Amino acid sequence: MLSTQMSEQEEHLAKSASDPQLNLPSRKPSPESPKGSAARKWIVLLVIIAIVGAAVWKIRQNGKEQDSVQMIMAAQADRPTPVQVSAVLQKTMPIYLTALGTVTAYNTVTIKSRVDGQLMLVPVNEGQTVRQGQVLAEIDPKPYQAALEQAQGQLVKDQASAVNARAQAARYGALLQAGVVSKESEQAQVSTAGQAEGSIAADQAAIQAAKVNLGYTKILSPINGVVGLRQVDPGNIVHANDATGLLVVTQLQPISVIFTLPEDQLPEVLKRTRGGSKLPVEAFDRAASKHLASGSLLTVDNQIDTTTGTVKAKAVFNNQDGALFPNQFVNIRLILQEKQNAIVIPAAALQTGSQGNFVYLLKQGQPPAELVEKRKDTDMPPLPQLAENQSNYYVQAQTVNVELTEGAQVILYGGVKPGDQIVVDGQEKLKNGSKVFPRTAPVKTNADGTTAEVNAVSESAGRPS
């Protein structure tokens, strides 16, 4: 019942809405209220204010970060730089010429047999050091011993014949005086006696030759030296005319080095050698870092090689320790003179700038005001005083005059004095007036036996000028 009534009401309402003649009130959209529009404007304004505030906050944060970076960079720039320092030396400095050389044996002997025969024994080992007169090889001596005995037997026979011939000649001489024999017969007997004497002399020479050949069966070393690799083994037949020898003996003490010099340097060398000077020569390894031996210049060749414009020179070394070996490549320093009281610094300490050559001179204390750069940002807060920034040393660029460069060392004639401490490592981070933490440069020995660096200043002691 109830559902039927509700359906009728709904149908009546639908018809009323569709019938235009029914005078029912119609719904029209109302204009927006002023309160809603004002609320929306305030929301937009608040969003804009929030965005502007966030942008301002971000800008300030970036400014603070930039200030922090600048403070860190300034602190890094103000931090002392670790460097290595060394003292300026005053010492005798050699002035030398450099050249490339090859070690050669002072004497080289190829041992050959002087007689034919079977090689019986080689009593020396390969690589053994031998003395002059030491037996190197033995050839079968029996054939030469037999030849000697045969020559000695022939001598005895000819001596007996000579005695009889001399007696016959004496008898014929007496008979000639008595007129029994003719002069011709007497002269024939004298001639026979002379021939017998000649046979004796020939026999003696044959004996001597046999002794010589017998002596050649023992081959002796003609020099002091070292035996090389054996070329012929015992048991082989050797001949005097063999092309290859039995072994090679080289003399290594003393030993020589052949090197070349440019012809432009020859007059200076000849001037000193002809004046009676014995020029020292130093030999170094392939890297020119290790000193091998010390010797002297022996001679200079008598002509210049026109193809290279160089002249050969020969130096001699005692080589007692065996540091030099034949055909070894070496670097040679021919010392022309010794410069006394030279001011010497390591080549690593020398710098070049717009004002010329200079070194960083280590000073004690705080850098003078004229060397310290003023900070541009005066509003920046002061840097914290870190313990690592408390250095009592700084560097000053000091102009120097270079006289000569010899290898890893430089000779100066002005700018510094002996005992001054100079920077030898870490210069790339320095400028005039920079604070530094000095460390002692490692002490090392040069190839010529001299000390390149010495003990420098320590942080607790030492007062460099």
Per-residue pLDDT band for 45 (boundaries 50, 70, 90) equals confident
Mean pLDDT value of segment 189-195: 86
Is 70 exceeded by the pLDDT of residue 9? no
> What are 115-166's pLDDT values in tens digits?
999 999 999 999 999 999 999 999 999 999 999 999 999 999 988 888 888 8
> What are 256-292's pLDDT values in tens digits?
999 999 999 999 899 888 888 889 999 999 988 899 9
Residue pair 126/285 in contact by the 8 Å Cβ criterion: no
Mean pLDDT value of segment 375-388: 43
pLDDT confidence of residue 449: 47
Is 70 exceeded by the pLDDT of residue 86? yes
Mean pLDDT value of segment 50-77: 68
Per-residue pLDDT band for 92 (boundaries 50, 70, 90) equals confident
Mean pLDDT value of segment 382-394: 57
Per-residue pLDDT band for 446 (boundaries 50, 70, 90) equals low
Is 80 exceeded by the pLDDT of residue 10? no
Mean pLDDT value of segment 2-6: 43
Cα distances from 227 to residues 113, 122, 318, 436, in angstroms, run 16, 11, 19, 61
> What are 417-437's pLDDT values in tens digits?
898 899 999 888 888 888 888
pLDDT confidence of residue 22: 44
Per-residue pLDDT band for 330 (boundaries 50, 70, 90) equals very high
Query: How far is it between the farthest Cα atoms of the chain?
Result: 217
Per-residue pLDDT band for 374 (boundaries 50, 70, 90) equals very low
Is 90 exceeded by the pLDDT of residue 353? no
| Alpha-helical segments (H) within 179-317 | 183-216, 266-274
Is 50 exceeded by the pLDDT of residue 246? yes
How many whole angstroms separate alpha carbon 90 and alpha carbon 345?
9
User: What HEC string does 314-382 produce?
Assistant: EEEECCCCCCCCCCCEEEEEEEEEEEEEEEEEEHHHCEEECCEEEEEEEEECCCCHHHCCCCCCCCCCC
| H or E element in which residue 406 lies | strand 402-406
Most confident of 4-13, 128-137, 398-407: 128-137
Looking at per-residue pLDDT, the higher value among 216 and 179 belongs to: 216
pLDDT confidence of residue 66: 67
Looking at per-residue pLDDT, the higher value among 13 and 152 belongs to: 152
Mean pLDDT value of segment 208-215: 94
pLDDT confidence of residue 36: 66
Per-residue pLDDT band for 388 (boundaries 50, 70, 90) equals very low
* Average pLDDT in the chain: 81
Is 60 exceeded by the pLDDT of residue 380? no
Is 50 exceeded by the pLDDT of residue 108? yes
pLDDT confidence of residue 439: 86
Percent with pLDDT over 90 in the chain: 40
Residues with Cβ within 8 Å of residue 20, at least 6 apart in sequence: none
Cα distances from 303 to residues 264, 270, 311, in angstroms, run 14, 13, 7
List of domains in the chain = 81-91+342-376+387-440 (2.40.420.20), 96-104+251-341 (2.40.30.170), 141-216 (1.10.287)
Mean pLDDT value of segment 17-33: 48
Residue pair 87/456 in contact by the 8 Å Cβ criterion: yes
Is 70 exceeded by the pLDDT of residue 461? no
